[in-house]
């Protein structure tokens, strides 16, 4: 398992009965997590010190309960800064487990020792974008949500990257990749974090089990012959590491060589020393 264990401003304090108790900087949040099917009795005192608690509804969705939690605050990861705020469906605007992939991508970019162009698809609030930019890459950031792209720009500004070479695009990722192919554009690296389900601007249905492999193959055609990496992340339980590995091998490595690896990603749990599973990632790299 690849573990995001380099955080100072974030930690999973404890896990119990379908929930995780987390510290985000100075604030403690309790949020649902379907992986947590064990019961430790909520013994850790942090459960009673929570500043926010997302209660899931039996009818779907849920709502927040707040206790002295600001509307927005920031946390840092190494030399990056992220704006946070609780919004619908339990999220805060950041997936801390992805730090293990930010570090990996940043290392590949630095090791290239040349200018590199990175494409970040389904780029959300830009954790991977600003990490890649901080490592020295030119980044094209694509997400269908105008609000998320705006938030990503604010994260870049908070990390002193307002003038970094980042292209911010509000666009359907599939349509964008198709246009880039027609335009003859290429990239040194691709990052993608596709949703399990979604709708395109004209009502197109995206179901990850049906759509992701054709999209990986399509996107891989944008890679240069001397490209450095391709990273895909998945929170969909059906896409296990072996599945991600097979897709990258057939869509990328068969043409470009290199190596493929895939693992679960996770976060350490302070109270127990265990690791909370948080999805899976597949990585292709030149070396």
Residue 201 is predicted with a pLDDT of 60
Task: Give φ, ψ of 102 to 5 degrees.
Answer: -55, -45
Task: Please check whether residue 262 lies inside any domain of the structure.
Answer: yes
Quick one: 111 and 150 in the same domain? Answer: yes
Domains in the chain, number: 2
Quick one: 177 and 271 in the same domain? Answer: yes
Residue 207 is predicted with a pLDDT of 74
Token digits for 199?
A: 């709708």
Cβ(67)–Cβ(28) under 8 Å? Answer: no
Quick one: 151 and 268 in the same domain? Answer: yes
Last residue of a domain, one of 84, 118, 152: 84
Quick one: 117 and 168 in the same domain? Answer: yes
Task: Please check whether residue 57 lies inside any domain of the structure.
Answer: yes
Q: Kindly report which listed range (51-60, 154-163, 170-179, 253-262) carries the lowest average pLDDT score.
A: 51-60
The two most distant CA atoms of the chain are separated, in Å, by 58
Over residues 214-231, the pLDDT tens digits come to 999 999 999 999 999 999
Quick one: 75 and 100 in the same domain? Answer: no
CATH of the domain at 189: 3.40.50.150
**DSSP codes, 194-222:** --SEEE-TTS-EEEHHHHHHHHHHHHHTT
Quick one: 72 and 104 in the same domain? Answer: no
In sequence order, the β-bridge partners of residue 261 are: 283
Quick one: 168 and 261 in the same domain? Answer: yes
56: domain range? Answer: 2-84
Q: What is the pTM of this model?
A: 0.94
Quick one: 171 and 138 in the same domain? Answer: yes
């Amino acid at each position: 398992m690849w573990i995001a264990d380099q955080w100072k401003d974030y930690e999973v304090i404890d896990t119990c009965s379908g929930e995780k108790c987390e510290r985000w900087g100075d604030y403690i949040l309790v949020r649902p997590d379907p992986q947590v099917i064990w019961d430790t009795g909520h013994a850790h005192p942090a459960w009673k010190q929570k500043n926010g608690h997302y209660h899931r509804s039996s009818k779907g969705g849920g709502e927040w309960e707040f206790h002295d939690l600001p509307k927005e605050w920031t946390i840092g990861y190494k030399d990056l800064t992220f704006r946070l705020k609780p919004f619908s469906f339990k999220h805060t605007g950041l997936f801390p487990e992805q730090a293990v992939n930010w570090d990996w991508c940043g290392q590949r970019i630095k090791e290239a020792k040349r200018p590199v162009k990175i494409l970040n698809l389904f780029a959300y609030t830009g954790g991977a974008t600003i990490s890649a930019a901080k490592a020295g890459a030119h980044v094209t950031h694509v997400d269908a949500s105008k609000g998320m792209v705006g938030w990503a720009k604010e994260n870049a500004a908070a990390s002193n990257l307002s003038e970094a070479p980042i292209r911010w695009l509000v666009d359907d990722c599939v349509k964008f990749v198709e246009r880039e192919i027609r335009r003859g554009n290429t990239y040194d690296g691709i990052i993608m974090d596709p949703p399990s389900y979604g709708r395109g601007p004209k009502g197109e249905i995206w179901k990850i089990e049906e759509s992701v492999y054709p999209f990986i193959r399509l996107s891989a055609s944008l890679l240069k012959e001397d490209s450095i990496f391709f990273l895909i992340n998945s929170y969909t339980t059906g896409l296990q590491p072996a599945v991600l590995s097979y897709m990258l091998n057939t869509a990328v490595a068969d043409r470009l060589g290199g190596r493929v690896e895939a693992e679960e990603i996770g976060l350490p749990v302070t109270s127990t020393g265990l690791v909370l599973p948080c999805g899976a990632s597949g990585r292709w790299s030149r070396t």
